Amino acid sequence: MKTLDLSENISKQKLLNVLKSEADKVHVIDIMFACSHLKEESKYVQASYRKEYDQIYIESFLLGIKKIREDNNYYPGFVDTRELKKAFKTLKSQETRVKIDYPQHLRFFRIYKLITIYTTFVRDEPVHPVGMPFPGGFKIKYENGTYYCPVKENQKDNPGAVCGICIAEQDKDV
């Protein structure tokens, strides 16, 4: 992604092509390691929805790289480069923390970064998939052309979360 010139307009198609090139460099062992990491982390998720959480999160993660690699759709329009710069800054900051505190999770983070940029800026979808469960029985929803997240407001300023760049809006029912 270092090949992108953020001072110029970037088409969604160009961004997709860069992401596809990066996704092609992700090895199956990286994906296996990332899924193992997700499974390990899910042990901290409430037992009442852990199985559903695992299924949705791991599946979306496993399929995320595949979706990028095989996405032959045409996406018209341009990326909001100001928002893309903000996203890269957030992800770079997170990556720096991972390198220092959890270097064993860099394989996971590489995939996380690709999927985050892809869903947000190419597909115009939230980072977490629709149906993703959260504490209290809340889930990511899609209603009338808008994505809603039950935790956006609480997490938007969390430097370890991507909520600040996610397109979902705070779910008003929460």
Residue 46: the pLDDT is: 83
Residue 76: the pLDDT is: 97
d(CA 106, CA 112): 10
- Give per-residue pLDDT as tens, 115-161: 999 999 999 999 999 988 887 889 999 999 999 999 999 987 888 89
Domain coordinates in residue numbering, the chain: 12-126
- Give per-residue pLDDT as tens, 45-76: 888 888 888 888 888 877 899 999 999 999 99
What is the DSSP-derived secondary structure letter of residue 11?
B
d(CA 160, CA 90): 9
Half-sphere exposure of 66 (CA within 13 A, CB side): 8
Residue 98: the pLDDT is: 93
Residue 96: the pLDDT is: 95
Contact 171, 154 (CB under 8 A): no
pTM of the model: 0.91
d(CA 174, CA 161): 19
Q: What is the mean pLDDT of the chain?
A: 91
